Chains A and B, each alone.
Chain A
Amino acid sequence: MNGHASKEPIVRTKGLVKRFGQMFAVRGLDLVVNEGEIYGLIGPNGSGKTTTMRMLCGILRPDEGEVYLLGSRIPSFKVLRSIGYMPQENAIYDDITVQENLCFFGRIQGLTREGINENANTILELVGLQGKRQALARDLSAGMQRRLSLAVAMIHQPVLLLLDEPTAGVDPDLRISFWKHFKELSAQGTTILITTHYLEEASRCGRVGLMSQGRLIEEGPPQELEEEAHAKTLEDAFLTLVGKGREEG
């Protein structure tokens, strides 16, 4: 696993702004995610979660503000090898096999063939695709393709995982197993920034950030957000805080 020696936050953004035409997708986002943390970005559709993810991994240039990952200001090519990014789309080659997908993405992230084989065993077991190594990706079910997408993001054992809706379309049993693995990774020092629509999943995060209309309107451990919103569940807290955010916004 790639190491990150300094005590700098793994993810830090300052006044991040992204506009599409006249519309603000993200406005003035200040975000800090520390080493080993699982940070959940939640918010309604169009709140700016995916745009934030894309700016973090360097495929979208912010209009204003700065992004620091692992202490380096983005854009930075050297940081990319330490990041695993799983976009909302499956982002896999559907005309090659599961093994070939892992092999290709592993190689471009600098792994040797042996390294890939070693990591692939663990990861395929985690995502429940160990029996599908030689299957063409297009022959997998939608859920399996999603799992392969996650496996590809993790093949090089990155220090930081940026996961955009990783469990969308994945069955509940497997989601539980994913989260078990995320917790294990986190315990080993991997930082995970995740966007999700499943609020029960968000409650498993160390901290969650609630985005609405491009702004981070609240953040903190799930229990604190529930208390602040005088809500029994994170879902209730979410509805209260988003409503409040809209009134203020």
Chain B
Amino acid sequence: MNVVFVARNVFRRLRHDWLTVIMLGTIPLLFILLFGYAFSGTPTDIPIVIVNHDSGKVTVNTKEFGTITLEKKMSDDLISGFGDHVFRARVMDNAEKAQDLVKRGIARAVIEIAPGFSQDMIDRVLSVTGGMTYSYHGQIVHLLPRAASGESTPPLLLSVDRSDVPTADTIVATVRYSLNTLFLSYLAGEDATLNWRDMMHTDDIYAAGAGYMDYYSPGVIGFAVTVITSMLTLISLVREERSGVLQRLLASAIHPWELSMGYTLAFTIISLVQALEVILIAYFLFHTMFVGSLLLMLLVIIIYTIGLQGLGTLLSGLARNEFQAMEYALLIILPGLILTEAFWPIEALSPSLRPLVFLFPLTYLNRALRAIMLRGAGFSGIWLDLTVLSLYALLMLGLSVAMMKKRGYSS
């Protein structure tokens, strides 16, 4: 019977803590809604650039007229085969400028189609089929295979930013699939497979050969720092509030900014130690890619931690007990898992949720860490992320000091 009394008492206590009840109801809801709405399956709307130099002129042998030249731009069929949701394509003429967009992180890949693409494709089709009919000036002609011209350069060059491994894999798979589909569409039921390596060459602009562990490591670092800092800040401050220590401190000769900065310094050091721990294990045990500057990486983590600590201080003012503190920490951690590109690229999220990604500072940390670790980015490569994180840190630090000041208004 005592079991029932104990259980009933738990619910009685909850009746007087509406915030906790609301959180208990909201957090699982948030979990399932975020997961349910967040993932749209494979990445979509991937920004790419297409540089199409395909001349569309194909020279073929015919039974009827000997060698003729046809207008058949097969690259158009290839591009329309990409569909309109996987890629958000921009068309450019200059391959170098297109690659620059990838280097600047504006596009994820460049698909460069050589002038001889259609010729190459028709030759491959005819060599498999041994010939096909074609309507030429209103007359049906028989196209015949040409003699093989020996080794040739693949007519499609795919330059991809591999620092975003899931997106890079989706790009490569989509282009491969479209090439094969195009090839099969001309075979009229013949059973054959396209050796896509002959048609397509892949070039990694960044993070050549990177795998999923390389992609996840920066996310794990960002996520670990977020979990530990938010929990530490919230729980320690709520404990200090409840034990009376905070009141005593606020009635002492210590400025709120000194108090706030003191906590920030301590938690930042702890976060740095943890981040280093993850980096070292990832590097030495899992041999993850690390091509950038460790110091720059630590600087970014410091700036992010300052902001997060400020946010934790603000939320600690709302939490009345350690339980509520944990719930607030979850509110920081949960979106951090899904909506910050820690483990999934923005393109893998449902389009309606994508704008939210830009609201979370952890997104900018993850982007900066990934850029440093996998692309070897310096200040100029992460200036936008660094600026957002710095503004966030300043804002949160200012607000946390103001909150401390409000708690002990004498200081």
Contacts and interface: CB of A to CB of B under 8 A. Distances in A.
Interface string B227-247: 000000000000000111101
5 A-B pairs with least C-beta separation: A58-B410, A89-B244, A91-B244, A81-B253, A57-B251
Contact of A75 (B242, B243, B253, B409): B409
B245 A91 contact: yes
Contacts of A24: none
Contacts of A83: 251
B252 A80 contact: yes
A59 B250 contact: yes
B252 A108 contact: yes
A86 B245 CA distance: 10
Contacts of A153: 248
A147 B408 CA distance: 24
B142 interface: no
B245 A59 contact: no
A88 B244 contact: yes
21 contacts: A54-B247, A57-B410, A58-B251, A75-B409, A75-B411, A79-B410, A80-B251, A80-B252, A80-B411, A85-B247, A85-B248, A86-B248, A87-B247, A87-B248, A89-B243, A89-B247, A91-B244, A105-B248, A105-B252, A108-B253, A109-B253
A85 B252 CA distance: 8
Contacts of B248: 85-87, 91, 105, 152-153
A12 to B, nearest CB: 16
B4 interface: no
The interface centre, meaning the residue of B247, B251, B409 with most chain A CB atoms within 10 A of its CB, is: B251
B140 interface: no
Contacts of B410: 57-59, 74-77, 79-80
B249 interface: yes
B407 interface: yes
B407 A59 contact: yes
A87 B411 contact: no
SS of A interface (majority): loop
A178 interface: no
Interface of A: 54, 57-59, 61, 74-77, 79-81, 83, 85-94, 105, 108-110, 152-153, 162
B251 A59 contact: yes
A58 B408 contact: yes
Contacts, number: 70
B295 interface: no
A152 B243 CA distance: 14
Given A58-B411, A89-B244, A91-B243, A108 B251 contact: no
B247 A110 contact: no
Nearest to A86: B248
Contacts of B188: none
Nearest to A87: B244
A85 B251 contact: yes
Interface in B371-411: 407-411
B255 A93 contact: no
SS of B interface (majority): loop
Contacts of A108: 249, 252-254
A81 B244 CA distance: 18
B244 A93 contact: no
A60 to B, nearest CB: 8
A85 B411 CA distance: 14
Nearest to A76: B410
Nearest to A56: B251
A58 B404 CA distance: 12
A133 B247 CA distance: 24
Contacts of A75: 409-411
A92 to B, nearest CB: 7
Contact of B408 (A59, A86, A109, A162): A59
A153 B251 CA distance: 10
A90 B243 contact: yes
A109 B253 CA distance: 5
A183 B252 CA distance: 24
A3 to B, nearest CB: 16
Contacts of B253: 77, 80-81, 108-110
A109 B252 contact: yes
Nearest to A152: B248
Interface in B105-119: none
Given A58-B411, A105-B248, A108-B249, A77 B255 contact: yes
Nearest to A105: B252
B243 A94 contact: yes
Interface in B137-162: none
The interface centre, meaning the residue of B249, B250, B408, B410 with most chain A CB atoms within 10 A of its CB, is: B410
Nearest to B259: A108
B409 A91 contact: no
A110 B252 CA distance: 10
Nearest to A92: B245
B8 to A, nearest CB: 28
Contacts of B408: 58-59
Nearest to A162: B251
A79 B243 CA distance: 24
Contacts of B245: 91-93
The interface centre, meaning the residue of B252, B408, B409 with most chain A CB atoms within 10 A of its CB, is: B252
Contacts of B242: 89
Contacts of A80: 251-253, 410-411
Contacts of A162: 251
Contacts of A90: 243-244
B389 to A, nearest CB: 30
